[in-house]
Structure 1
Amino acid sequence: MSILEVEAVVAGYGAAEEIVKGASMRVGDDEIVTIIGPNGAGKSTFLKVVAGLVAAKAGAIRLGGEDVTGRDAQGRARAGISFVPQERNVFGSLTVAENLEISGFLDPAGTARRVEALYERYPMLAAKRRALARTLSGGQRQILAMAMGLMTDPKLMLLDEPTAGLSPKAADELFDAVVALNRGGLPILMVEQHAVEALAISTRGYVLVAGRNSAEGAGPALAADPEIRRLFLGG
């Protein structure tokens, strides 16, 4: 069964501008799905359309079989979609604890319980709970950003280039955290610049070119495809 079904979505930032031009994708209940493609292909815009941050001009978005196309970002969050953007994904002037607490807006009564559960899952956050978010390393900030996304108890998590700017070691640790979340029952749709590594941990992958579907397949198979590697993976 698919938790997410996106059909022929068209979207852009201006009245006439179209960046996503009829892309379709699905995410199964137990999957990690990665979107790859050249710069300017519309990958991040596609995620924002799913999250409700960019309105779809055409097409349909269903979450767990329910049509959420007409809902705004908060409505999508209430439906169960959590979006972790690439940039400005934590509040640097707030502590780790404060970042988590303000992310519990959908269930204020359950915020303290969720924060404690996240401290158990990510001991680094517990150790740094009083530290300002801007003092964290890049990898630590990304873990905090994902933890903030988990505060809404999502049915699906969207990650926009989660390893951008990280060292190879921090990127590997971040991928391990993504796999752990998925094994815990959370489906994930992500855009990732480290395409080979991302596809290796993905159930399936999509190649997006000029806002349209170009290819789809099992993650490791896409990573090993000579033509895909030549065109998009630098090999």
Structure 2
Amino acid sequence: MTLLVVKDVIAGYGASEQILKGASIDVGAGEIVTIIGPNGAGKSTLLKAVAGLVKAKEGCITLDGADVTAADALGRSKSGISFVPQERNVFGTLSVLENLMISAFSAPRLQKQRAEQAFERYPMLAEKRRAMARTLSGGQRQILAMAMGLMTDPKLILLDEPTAGLSPKTADELFEAIVALNQSGLPVLMVEQHAVEALAISTRGYVLVAGRAASEGTGPALAADPETRRLFLGG
């Protein structure tokens, strides 16, 4: 079953600057889908367009069969889309628990219950529940950011370069956490700088070039494709 459909979306950050020039992708229930491509291709802009942070000037975005194209970021969140940005994705001066609680804005009565569910999923966060988020390591902050994204009980989670700035070992651990999250039933749409590693855990992938999806395939097939490797994967 197809959960998310992005069809011919044109979007950008100004009246004349269109970063996305007719982008089309989809995400099925249970999938991990990774978007790769050169710098400036519009990968993060596409995620933001799905999240409602960048307005689609043309095209259509549907989630679970419902047209959400006109909805703003709050509306998308209420519809079931959760976006975890690359930077500034936790509140450094708040505790781990406070970060989780504030992220359950759509269901204040369920804040404590969902926070405890997050602690069960990520015991490391439970151990640091009273620690300020700024004291966490890079990997721990990313886990917290993902846990915050789960506090709205989403149908789909968007991850923008989740392993940016992490050591290879920590990045591998985060990829394992993403797989575990997906195996629990949550579809994932991801932009990731470590493209080979991301495609290896992905159901499917898209190559975005100049604001359009130039090609798609299974994650392992894209990772192994000589032309894709030459152009985008450094080998």
TM-score by length of 1: 1.00
Where does 1:107-122 land on structure 2 (aligned, <5 Å)?
Answer: 107-122=107-122
Deviation at 1:136, TM superposition (A): 0.3
Deviation at 1:213, TM superposition (A): 1.2
Q: Counterpart of 1:131? A: 131
- 1:92 and 2:87 aligned: no
Where does 1:1-235 land on structure 2 (aligned, <5 Å)?
Answer: 1-235=1-235
Large movers: runs of 4+ above 4 Å: none
Aligned letter for 1:83? F
The sequence identity of aligned pairs, in percent, is 76
Q: Deviations over 1:115-145 (max 9, x none)?
A: 0111111000000111110110000000000
Unaligned runs of 5+ in 1: none
Deviation at 1:36, TM superposition (A): 0.1
| 2-structure distance, mates of 1:76, 1:19 | 21
TM-score by length of 2: 1.00
Aligned residues: 235
Deviation at 1:3, TM superposition (A): 0.7
| 1-structure distance, mates of 2:182, 2:117 | 17
| 1-structure distance, mates of 2:160, 2:231 | 21
Aligned letter for 1:113? Q
**RMSD (CA atoms):** 0.4
Aligned letter for 2:182? N
| 2-structure distance, mates of 1:101, 1:170 | 26
| 2-structure distance, mates of 1:186, 1:39 | 28
| 1-structure distance, mates of 2:160, 2:81 | 13
